Amino acid sequence: PSEFLLSTQHRDGERLYKSTLTMPYSLNPNDYWQSQTYGAGAIFIGFIGGLLVYRRTKKGAKNG
């Protein structure tokens, strides 16, 4: 494992603003990054949302 580092700075006149974000990074994404339960939930919500959009589009095409 290693560490992901994101750093930025901005100068406003005489002031210098710095910000740094760090996060652990691992080559095995199953340890930290993936959840099968959340993935299945996201697919289900996307499917239902897609059906609702499709039905509204189809109704609008009949009336317009």
pLDDT at 28: 66
Return the pLDDT at 62.
Answer: 62
Full-model pTM? 0.40
HEC readout, the chain: CEEEEEEEEEEECCEEEEEEEEEEECCCHHHHCCCHHHHHHHHHHHHHHHHHHHHHHHHHHHHC
Q: How many structural domains compose the chain? A: 1
Q: What is the pLDDT of residue 9?
A: 94
Domain holding 24, by residue range, is: 2-63
Q: What is the pLDDT of residues 2-61, one digit of tens each?
A: 888 999 999 999 999 999 999 987 776 665 556 788 888 889 999 999 998 888 777 666
11 CB-near residues (< 8 Å, 6+ apart): 17
Give the CA diameter of the chain: 62
Query: What was the pLDDT predicted at 2?
Result: 82
